[in-house]
């Protein structure tokens, strides 16, 4: 007995996505150039504006890439290309203010930046012959004040923030009331305005020392209030990233918890902890309001952070531009030079942090 098997319904051939139509590789570049030319030509008829031209170019490019991809490729590819174009455009819009600010500071401050500007204090000189008062720009008092105030704030903030993070990650239970209180206070401190920190330090030293108790230590206390929550949060996240297996292996060998934290946990998380500390320093080194309130400002050189007003580069930039002396041009040059010097210091801090993190990284060792 033979059984005949009929053929089933025919199926449509499956097309491979690797053989689907694709737009040329450089189509995005060509469409962007075409959009720029078309929008520029249209704006020349009514009046060219760089901002309007950029917005029109971006809009034409998004429409062109979406339509081209949908006609040649498919809807999924078109949506992907449009999403990538929108993300790229928003990224460029985000960095435009940053690039503009850096370029302005560089152009206006590069002419003032010199070794004499860094190594001497700003002075006003009187010429008895011409009866003119000329000001010699200088930022030595601000450079010394910046390093001293920021250094003291770092010495105060890092131990407190790191120990608080160790407690939250290694010792505190999830249901602990103290843990909830510490976490809540850290969250509150994260949102404190900088001027409030300056008023707190100024009020504290006024009550303890007396009225007009301006000093670098007072400004350091204000900056430490801003640094501590950043150090706590960054260190806490880095400690949580350390695998639990490392802790358990250390405990299995009979190592105590404190030694495990010091020898295993902290050494594993040290690159991220150092990066968080540097971010905290970069966050406060450019603060103006708390330092201006707590330490005031002075043109005289003062290397004693415990007595008398001190000045930082941020305050020097602010006072030189907001309260210029009789020589307005010299004051403005001093402000732009100190602003550029402050940017360079922040960049150096970040480079040092990356070098230290790479040196102490477990894989590097």
Q: 204-239, pLDDT tens digit by residue?
A: 888 888 777 888 899 999 999 999 999 999 999 999
Taking the complete model, does pTM exceed 0.85, yes or no? no
Residue 146 gets the label, from left (phi > 0), alpha (psi -120 to 50) or beta, of alpha
Instruction: Give the per-residue pLDDT at 149.
Output: 93
Determine contact, residues 111/333, Cβ cutoff 8 Å.
yes
What span, in angstroms and rounded, lies between the C-alpha atoms of 344 and 272? 22
Mean pLDDT of all residues in 177-190: 88
The CATH number for 121-360, chosen from 1.10.540.10, 1.10.3720.10, 3.40.50.300, 3.40.1190.20, is: 1.10.3720.10
Q: Burial letters for 148-162: b for 16+ Cβ neighbours within 10 Å, e otherwise?
A: bbbebbbebbbeebb
CA distance 231 to 277: 6
- 313 neighbors 338 (Cβ within 8 angstroms): yes
Please tell me which residue, 129 or 103, carries the higher pLDDT value.
Answer: 103
Q: How far is CA 189 from the centre of its chain?
A: 18
Locate the domains of the chain by residue range: 24-108, 121-360
Task: List, for residues 127-164, the tens digit of each pLDDT value.
Answer: 556 555 566 777 888 899 899 999 999 999 999 999 99
Host H or E run for residue 124 = strand 121-127
Q: At which residue do the structure tokens 């400004």 appear? A: 219
Whole-angstrom distance, CA of residue 304 vs CA of residue 215: 8
Tell me how crowded residue 307 is: count the other CB atoms within 10 A of its CB.
Answer: 13
Which whole number is the average pLDDT over 332-347? 88
């Amino acid at each position: 007995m033979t059984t005949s098997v009929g053929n089933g319904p025919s199926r449509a051939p499956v097309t491979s996505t690797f053989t689907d139509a694709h737009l040329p590789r450089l189509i995005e570049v060509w469409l962007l150039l075409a959009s720029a030319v078309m929008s520029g030509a249209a704006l020349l008829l009514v009046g060219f504006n760089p901002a309007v031209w950029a917005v029109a170019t971006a809009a034409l490019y998004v429409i062109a890439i979406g339509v081209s991809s949908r006609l040649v490729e498919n809807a999924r590819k078109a949506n992907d290309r449009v999403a990538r174009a929108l993300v790229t455009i928003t990224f460029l819009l985000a960095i435009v203010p940053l690039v503009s600010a850096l370029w302005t500071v560089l152009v206006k401050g590069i002419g003032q930046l010199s070794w004499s500007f860094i190594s001497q204090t700003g002075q006003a000189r009187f010429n008895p012959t011409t009866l003119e008062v000329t000001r010699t720009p200088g930022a030595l008092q601000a450079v010394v004040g910046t390093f001293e105030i920021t250094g003291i704030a770092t010495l105060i903030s890092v131990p407190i923030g790191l120990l608080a993070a160790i407690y939250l990650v290694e010792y505190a239970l999830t249901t602990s009331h103290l843990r909830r209180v510490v976490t809540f206070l850290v969250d509150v401190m994260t949102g404190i305005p900088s001027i409030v920190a300056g008023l707190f330090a100024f009020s504290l030293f006024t009550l303890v020392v007396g009225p007009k108790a301006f000093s670098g230590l007072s400004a350091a206390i204000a900056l430490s209030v801003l640094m501590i929550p950043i150090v706590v949060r960054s260190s806490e996240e880095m400690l949580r990233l350390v695998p639990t297996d490392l802790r358990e292996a250390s405990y299995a060998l009979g190592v105590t918890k404190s030694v495990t934290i010091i020898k295993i946990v902290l050494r594993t998380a040290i690159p991220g902890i150092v990066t968080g500390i540097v971010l905290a320093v970069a966050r406060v080194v450019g603060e103006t309001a708390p330092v201006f309130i707590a330490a005031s400002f002075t043109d005289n050189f003062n290397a004693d952070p415990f007595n008398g007003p001190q000045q930082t580069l941020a305050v020097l930039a602010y006072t030189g531009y907001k309260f210029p002396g009789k020589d307005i041009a010299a004051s403005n040059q001093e402000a732009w030079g100190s602003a550029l010097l402050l940017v360079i210091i922040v960049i150096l801090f970040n480079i040092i942090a990356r070098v230290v993190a790479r040196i102490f990284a477990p894989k590097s060792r």
